[in-house]
Amino acid sequence: EQRGYFIGTQYGPMAHADWPDKEVASTVQVAFYDATNPEARDFLWSRVKDNYLDPYGISAFWLDACEPELKPGFQENLRYHAGPGLEVGNLYPRENARTFYEGMLAAGETEVVTLNRSAWAGSQRYGAALWSGDIGTDFATLRRQIAAGLNTALSGIPWWNTDIGGFHGGDPDDPAYREVMVRWFQFGALSPLMRLHGFRDPGMPLGPDMTGGPNEVWSYGEEAGAILEKYLRLRERLKPYVLDVMREAHEEGLPVMRPLFLEFPEDHAAWSVDDSYLFGSDLLVAPVLTAGATVRTAYLPAGARWTDAWTGETYEGGAAVTVDAPLDRIPLFLRDGARLPVAE
Protein backbone atom coordinates (compact mmCIF):
# COMPACT_ATOMS: atom_id res chain seq x y z
CA GLU A 1 0.00 0.00 0.00
CA GLN A 2 2.81 2.39 0.84
CA ARG A 3 4.34 1.80 -2.59
CA GLY A 4 1.08 2.63 -4.35
CA TYR A 5 0.69 -0.78 -5.93
CA PHE A 6 -3.04 -1.15 -5.30
CA ILE A 7 -5.98 0.17 -7.32
CA GLY A 8 -6.96 3.53 -5.85
CA THR A 9 -10.13 5.60 -5.77
CA GLN A 10 -11.08 9.11 -6.75
CA TYR A 11 -10.58 10.46 -3.25
CA GLY A 12 -7.46 8.55 -2.34
CA PRO A 13 -8.15 5.34 -0.38
CA MET A 14 -7.36 2.10 -2.13
CA ALA A 15 -10.29 0.12 -3.48
CA HIS A 16 -11.56 -2.79 -1.40
CA ALA A 17 -13.87 -5.71 -2.07
CA ASP A 18 -15.71 -7.98 0.35
CA TRP A 19 -14.86 -11.65 -0.23
CA PRO A 20 -16.19 -14.74 1.54
CA ASP A 21 -13.69 -16.26 3.94
CA LYS A 22 -14.43 -19.85 4.97
CA GLU A 23 -18.20 -19.26 4.83
CA VAL A 24 -20.68 -16.83 3.30
CA ALA A 25 -21.42 -15.14 6.61
CA SER A 26 -17.75 -14.37 7.16
CA THR A 27 -16.14 -11.95 4.74
CA VAL A 28 -12.83 -10.15 4.61
CA GLN A 29 -11.81 -7.01 2.80
CA VAL A 30 -9.28 -7.52 0.03
CA ALA A 31 -7.47 -5.13 -2.30
CA PHE A 32 -6.36 -5.67 -5.90
CA TYR A 33 -2.94 -4.84 -7.23
CA ASP A 34 -2.82 -2.31 -10.07
CA ALA A 35 -1.88 -4.34 -13.13
CA THR A 36 -1.43 -1.16 -15.19
CA ASN A 37 1.54 -0.23 -12.98
CA PRO A 38 4.77 -1.87 -14.25
CA GLU A 39 6.32 -1.80 -10.77
CA ALA A 40 3.23 -3.47 -9.30
CA ARG A 41 3.40 -6.16 -11.97
CA ASP A 42 7.05 -6.84 -11.14
CA PHE A 43 6.24 -6.97 -7.43
CA LEU A 44 3.40 -9.45 -7.84
CA TRP A 45 5.39 -11.66 -10.19
CA SER A 46 8.26 -11.81 -7.73
CA ARG A 47 5.87 -13.28 -5.16
CA VAL A 48 4.47 -15.77 -7.67
CA LYS A 49 7.95 -16.80 -8.76
CA ASP A 50 9.21 -17.25 -5.20
CA ASN A 51 6.18 -19.21 -4.02
CA TYR A 52 5.04 -21.22 -7.06
CA LEU A 53 7.43 -21.33 -10.00
CA ASP A 54 10.78 -21.76 -8.24
CA PRO A 55 9.90 -24.17 -5.41
CA TYR A 56 7.30 -26.28 -7.21
CA GLY A 57 7.80 -25.72 -10.95
CA ILE A 58 4.24 -24.47 -11.41
CA SER A 59 4.25 -22.62 -14.73
CA ALA A 60 0.61 -22.67 -15.86
CA PHE A 61 -1.83 -20.37 -14.09
CA TRP A 62 -5.60 -19.92 -14.05
CA LEU A 63 -6.25 -16.17 -13.76
CA ASP A 64 -9.83 -16.12 -12.50
CA ALA A 65 -11.79 -13.00 -11.53
CA CYS A 66 -9.32 -10.91 -13.55
CA GLU A 67 -11.68 -8.07 -14.49
CA PRO A 68 -10.87 -7.49 -11.58
CA GLU A 69 -13.94 -8.66 -9.68
CA LEU A 70 -14.32 -5.73 -7.33
CA LYS A 71 -17.58 -5.95 -5.39
CA PRO A 72 -18.79 -3.23 -5.46
CA GLY A 73 -16.66 -1.75 -8.20
CA PHE A 74 -17.66 1.48 -9.92
CA GLN A 75 -15.19 2.38 -12.64
CA GLU A 76 -15.92 6.08 -12.31
CA ASN A 77 -14.57 5.89 -8.75
CA LEU A 78 -11.47 3.83 -9.52
CA ARG A 79 -8.04 5.24 -10.25
CA TYR A 80 -5.31 3.23 -11.92
CA HIS A 81 -1.67 4.00 -12.61
CA ALA A 82 -2.67 4.35 -16.29
CA GLY A 83 -5.56 6.73 -15.59
CA PRO A 84 -9.22 6.98 -14.49
CA GLY A 85 -11.24 3.80 -14.36
CA LEU A 86 -13.74 4.85 -17.01
CA GLU A 87 -10.90 5.48 -19.45
CA VAL A 88 -8.53 2.59 -18.77
CA GLY A 89 -10.35 0.05 -16.59
CA ASN A 90 -10.83 -2.46 -19.41
CA LEU A 91 -7.05 -2.76 -19.74
CA TYR A 92 -6.85 -4.67 -16.46
CA PRO A 93 -7.23 -8.28 -17.67
CA ARG A 94 -4.74 -7.73 -20.49
CA GLU A 95 -2.14 -6.23 -18.18
CA ASN A 96 -2.76 -8.93 -15.60
CA ALA A 97 -1.96 -11.57 -18.23
CA ARG A 98 1.11 -9.53 -19.11
CA THR A 99 2.34 -9.85 -15.51
CA PHE A 100 2.57 -13.62 -15.86
CA TYR A 101 3.68 -13.69 -19.49
CA GLU A 102 6.64 -11.36 -19.07
CA GLY A 103 7.55 -12.90 -15.74
CA MET A 104 7.65 -16.43 -17.10
CA LEU A 105 9.60 -15.38 -20.19
CA ALA A 106 12.18 -13.72 -17.96
CA ALA A 107 12.35 -16.94 -15.93
CA GLY A 108 13.21 -18.95 -19.03
CA GLU A 109 9.80 -20.37 -19.93
CA THR A 110 9.27 -20.49 -23.70
CA GLU A 111 5.65 -21.64 -24.09
CA VAL A 112 3.53 -19.42 -21.88
CA VAL A 113 -0.24 -19.76 -21.57
CA THR A 114 -2.67 -18.58 -18.90
CA LEU A 115 -6.39 -19.26 -18.59
CA ASN A 116 -8.30 -15.99 -18.19
CA ARG A 117 -11.92 -15.16 -17.41
CA SER A 118 -11.66 -11.77 -19.13
CA ALA A 119 -9.57 -10.20 -21.85
CA TRP A 120 -9.09 -7.01 -23.82
CA ALA A 121 -7.69 -6.01 -27.19
CA GLY A 122 -4.15 -7.35 -27.37
CA SER A 123 -4.51 -10.02 -24.68
CA GLN A 124 -3.42 -12.63 -27.22
CA ARG A 125 0.05 -11.06 -27.23
CA TYR A 126 0.51 -12.25 -23.66
CA GLY A 127 -0.41 -15.91 -23.99
CA ALA A 128 -3.96 -15.36 -22.75
CA ALA A 129 -6.49 -18.12 -23.34
CA LEU A 130 -10.05 -17.01 -22.64
CA TRP A 131 -13.01 -19.02 -21.44
CA SER A 132 -16.65 -18.04 -21.42
CA GLY A 133 -17.05 -17.83 -17.65
CA ASP A 134 -19.42 -19.42 -15.15
CA ILE A 135 -22.32 -20.39 -17.38
CA GLY A 136 -25.48 -22.51 -17.28
CA THR A 137 -25.78 -26.22 -18.00
CA ASP A 138 -28.52 -26.54 -20.62
CA PHE A 139 -28.85 -26.69 -24.39
CA ALA A 140 -29.76 -23.00 -24.65
CA THR A 141 -26.45 -22.09 -23.01
CA LEU A 142 -24.54 -24.51 -25.22
CA ARG A 143 -26.13 -22.84 -28.25
CA ARG A 144 -24.85 -19.44 -27.15
CA GLN A 145 -21.26 -20.68 -26.84
CA ILE A 146 -20.86 -20.86 -30.62
CA ALA A 147 -21.57 -17.14 -30.99
CA ALA A 148 -19.31 -16.40 -28.01
CA GLY A 149 -16.44 -18.37 -29.51
CA LEU A 150 -16.81 -16.85 -32.97
CA ASN A 151 -16.99 -13.30 -31.64
CA THR A 152 -13.92 -13.92 -29.52
CA ALA A 153 -12.11 -15.23 -32.58
CA LEU A 154 -13.07 -12.18 -34.63
CA SER A 155 -11.79 -10.00 -31.78
CA GLY A 156 -8.28 -11.34 -32.39
CA ILE A 157 -8.14 -13.86 -29.55
CA PRO A 158 -7.71 -17.38 -30.98
CA TRP A 159 -7.28 -19.33 -27.74
CA TRP A 160 -10.79 -19.86 -26.37
CA ASN A 161 -12.84 -22.53 -24.64
CA THR A 162 -15.84 -23.22 -22.42
CA ASP A 163 -16.53 -25.17 -19.27
CA ILE A 164 -17.65 -28.37 -21.01
CA GLY A 165 -21.09 -29.16 -19.63
CA GLY A 166 -21.46 -25.62 -18.26
CA PHE A 167 -20.50 -24.55 -14.76
CA HIS A 168 -23.53 -24.05 -12.52
CA GLY A 169 -25.07 -27.41 -11.67
CA GLY A 170 -25.90 -30.43 -13.78
CA ASP A 171 -26.59 -33.81 -12.18
CA PRO A 172 -24.36 -36.62 -13.55
CA ASP A 173 -27.13 -39.12 -12.74
CA ASP A 174 -29.82 -37.23 -14.69
CA PRO A 175 -30.34 -38.71 -18.19
CA ALA A 176 -31.31 -35.29 -19.58
CA TYR A 177 -28.09 -33.73 -18.31
CA ARG A 178 -26.05 -36.65 -19.57
CA GLU A 179 -27.30 -35.79 -23.05
CA VAL A 180 -26.24 -32.17 -22.56
CA MET A 181 -22.82 -33.33 -21.42
CA VAL A 182 -22.34 -35.62 -24.42
CA ARG A 183 -23.30 -32.96 -26.94
CA TRP A 184 -21.19 -30.32 -25.17
CA PHE A 185 -18.22 -32.67 -24.97
CA GLN A 186 -18.43 -33.22 -28.72
CA PHE A 187 -18.39 -29.46 -29.24
CA GLY A 188 -15.51 -29.13 -26.77
CA ALA A 189 -13.43 -31.66 -28.66
CA LEU A 190 -13.72 -29.41 -31.73
CA SER A 191 -13.04 -26.15 -29.87
CA PRO A 192 -9.67 -24.38 -29.79
CA LEU A 193 -9.01 -25.70 -26.26
CA MET A 194 -10.75 -28.71 -24.72
CA ARG A 195 -11.45 -28.49 -20.99
CA LEU A 196 -13.96 -30.31 -18.76
CA HIS A 197 -14.96 -28.24 -15.72
CA GLY A 198 -18.02 -27.43 -13.63
CA PHE A 199 -19.61 -27.36 -10.18
CA ARG A 200 -21.85 -30.39 -10.46
CA ASP A 201 -24.79 -31.41 -8.31
CA PRO A 202 -24.96 -32.27 -5.52
CA GLY A 203 -22.78 -29.32 -4.54
CA MET A 204 -21.58 -28.54 -1.05
CA PRO A 205 -22.22 -25.37 0.97
CA LEU A 206 -19.57 -22.69 0.63
CA GLY A 207 -16.71 -23.61 2.91
CA PRO A 208 -12.96 -24.26 3.03
CA ASP A 209 -13.35 -27.81 1.69
CA MET A 210 -16.30 -27.31 -0.65
CA THR A 211 -16.48 -29.13 -3.96
CA GLY A 212 -18.99 -29.95 -6.61
CA GLY A 213 -20.28 -33.40 -7.49
CA PRO A 214 -18.35 -35.93 -9.60
CA ASN A 215 -17.34 -34.61 -13.02
CA GLU A 216 -14.92 -37.15 -14.46
CA VAL A 217 -15.73 -38.72 -17.83
CA TRP A 218 -16.66 -41.97 -16.05
CA SER A 219 -19.20 -40.14 -13.85
CA TYR A 220 -21.97 -40.14 -16.47
CA GLY A 221 -22.79 -43.81 -16.89
CA GLU A 222 -21.49 -46.43 -19.31
CA GLU A 223 -23.17 -45.18 -22.49
CA ALA A 224 -22.20 -41.52 -22.05
CA GLY A 225 -18.76 -42.46 -20.72
CA ALA A 226 -18.00 -44.51 -23.83
CA ILE A 227 -18.98 -41.57 -26.06
CA LEU A 228 -16.86 -39.13 -24.08
CA GLU A 229 -13.90 -41.49 -24.42
CA LYS A 230 -14.54 -41.64 -28.17
CA TYR A 231 -14.15 -37.86 -28.45
CA LEU A 232 -11.08 -37.76 -26.24
CA ARG A 233 -9.52 -40.19 -28.69
CA LEU A 234 -10.73 -38.11 -31.65
CA ARG A 235 -9.04 -35.03 -30.21
CA GLU A 236 -5.81 -37.01 -29.89
CA ARG A 237 -6.03 -38.26 -33.47
CA LEU A 238 -6.54 -34.68 -34.67
CA LYS A 239 -3.58 -33.39 -32.68
CA PRO A 240 -1.29 -32.81 -35.73
CA TYR A 241 -4.09 -30.87 -37.45
CA VAL A 242 -4.85 -28.89 -34.29
CA LEU A 243 -1.18 -27.96 -33.91
CA ASP A 244 -1.03 -26.80 -37.54
CA VAL A 245 -4.13 -24.64 -37.05
CA MET A 246 -2.72 -23.24 -33.81
CA ARG A 247 0.52 -22.40 -35.58
CA GLU A 248 -1.44 -20.65 -38.33
CA ALA A 249 -3.26 -18.59 -35.72
CA HIS A 250 0.05 -17.60 -34.12
CA GLU A 251 1.87 -16.73 -37.32
CA GLU A 252 -0.89 -15.37 -39.56
CA GLY A 253 -3.62 -14.26 -37.16
CA LEU A 254 -6.33 -16.53 -38.56
CA PRO A 255 -8.44 -17.87 -35.68
CA VAL A 256 -8.79 -21.55 -34.90
CA MET A 257 -12.58 -21.32 -34.74
CA ARG A 258 -13.88 -19.49 -37.82
CA PRO A 259 -17.29 -18.25 -38.96
CA LEU A 260 -18.16 -19.62 -42.36
CA PHE A 261 -18.01 -16.20 -43.99
CA LEU A 262 -14.35 -15.80 -43.04
CA GLU A 263 -13.38 -18.53 -45.51
CA PHE A 264 -16.31 -17.95 -47.90
CA PRO A 265 -16.98 -14.19 -48.01
CA GLU A 266 -18.63 -14.35 -51.44
CA ASP A 267 -21.33 -16.72 -50.19
CA HIS A 268 -24.02 -14.40 -48.84
CA ALA A 269 -25.83 -17.25 -47.05
CA ALA A 270 -22.69 -18.03 -45.06
CA TRP A 271 -22.90 -14.64 -43.35
CA SER A 272 -26.09 -15.60 -41.52
CA VAL A 273 -24.94 -19.01 -40.21
CA ASP A 274 -24.44 -18.85 -36.45
CA ASP A 275 -24.90 -22.47 -35.39
CA SER A 276 -21.88 -24.06 -37.07
CA TYR A 277 -18.30 -23.05 -37.80
CA LEU A 278 -15.01 -24.06 -39.35
CA PHE A 279 -12.31 -25.58 -37.18
CA GLY A 280 -9.32 -24.47 -39.18
CA SER A 281 -9.89 -24.31 -42.93
CA ASP A 282 -10.65 -27.97 -43.62
CA LEU A 283 -13.26 -29.09 -41.07
CA LEU A 284 -16.84 -27.80 -40.75
CA VAL A 285 -18.42 -28.51 -37.37
CA ALA A 286 -22.20 -28.60 -36.84
CA PRO A 287 -22.86 -29.28 -33.14
CA VAL A 288 -26.17 -30.79 -32.08
CA LEU A 289 -27.92 -28.12 -30.01
CA THR A 290 -31.36 -29.57 -29.32
CA ALA A 291 -32.43 -32.17 -26.77
CA GLY A 292 -33.46 -35.47 -28.31
CA ALA A 293 -32.23 -34.59 -31.80
CA THR A 294 -30.98 -37.45 -33.97
CA VAL A 295 -30.62 -35.52 -37.24
CA ARG A 296 -28.95 -32.20 -37.97
CA THR A 297 -29.41 -29.75 -40.83
CA ALA A 298 -26.29 -27.77 -41.69
CA TYR A 299 -25.45 -25.23 -44.39
CA LEU A 300 -22.40 -26.08 -46.51
CA PRO A 301 -20.81 -23.00 -48.12
CA ALA A 302 -20.67 -22.58 -51.87
CA GLY A 303 -17.32 -22.79 -53.59
CA ALA A 304 -16.27 -26.14 -52.13
CA ARG A 305 -17.24 -29.80 -52.09
CA TRP A 306 -17.96 -31.26 -48.68
CA THR A 307 -17.59 -34.83 -47.47
CA ASP A 308 -19.40 -36.22 -44.45
CA ALA A 309 -16.46 -37.23 -42.27
CA TRP A 310 -18.37 -40.21 -40.82
CA THR A 311 -20.10 -41.69 -43.86
CA GLY A 312 -17.98 -40.51 -46.79
CA GLU A 313 -20.96 -39.06 -48.64
CA THR A 314 -20.06 -35.99 -50.69
CA TYR A 315 -22.13 -32.81 -51.21
CA GLU A 316 -21.84 -29.74 -53.41
CA GLY A 317 -21.61 -26.53 -51.41
CA GLY A 318 -24.20 -23.80 -51.51
CA ALA A 319 -27.04 -25.74 -49.88
CA ALA A 320 -28.24 -27.06 -46.55
CA VAL A 321 -28.07 -30.81 -45.98
CA THR A 322 -29.68 -32.99 -43.33
CA VAL A 323 -27.60 -35.82 -41.92
CA ASP A 324 -27.98 -38.42 -39.20
CA ALA A 325 -26.77 -37.32 -35.78
CA PRO A 326 -27.24 -40.15 -33.27
CA LEU A 327 -26.07 -39.44 -29.74
CA ASP A 328 -22.52 -40.58 -30.44
CA ARG A 329 -22.07 -38.44 -33.57
CA ILE A 330 -21.46 -34.73 -34.13
CA PRO A 331 -21.84 -33.85 -37.83
CA LEU A 332 -18.45 -33.05 -39.38
CA PHE A 333 -17.68 -32.18 -42.99
CA LEU A 334 -14.31 -32.23 -44.75
CA ARG A 335 -13.55 -29.54 -47.30
CA ASP A 336 -12.46 -30.36 -50.84
CA GLY A 337 -11.15 -33.85 -50.16
CA ALA A 338 -9.22 -32.98 -46.99
CA ARG A 339 -8.04 -36.13 -45.24
CA LEU A 340 -8.33 -36.05 -41.45
CA PRO A 341 -8.53 -39.10 -39.14
CA VAL A 342 -12.05 -38.48 -37.89
CA ALA A 343 -13.46 -42.00 -38.13
CA GLU A 344 -11.42 -44.69 -36.38
* Domain range summary for the chain, segments of one domain joined by +: 1-131, 257-335
Give residue-wise pLDDT tens across range 183-238.
Answer: 999 999 999 999 999 999 987 776 666 788 899 999 999 999 999 999 999 999 99
- Catalytic site residues? 64, 67, 134
% of the chain beyond a pLDDT of 90? 86
Nearest CA to 7 out of 77, 64, 63 is that of 77
Compute the residue count for the chain: 344
1-131 architecture in CATH? Answer: Alpha-Beta Barrel (3.20)
Most distant pair of Cα atoms in the chain: their distance: 69
Superfamily assignment of 257-335 in CATH? Golgi alpha-mannosidase II (2.60.40.1180)
Q: How confident is residue 29, by pLDDT bands cut at 50, 70 and 90?
A: confident
Given pLDDT bands bounded at 50, 70 and 90, which one contains residue 16?
A: confident
Return mean pLDDT, the chain: 94
- Residue 94 dihedral angles phi and psi, to the nearest 5°: -65, -45
**Residue 27 confidence (pLDDT):** 75
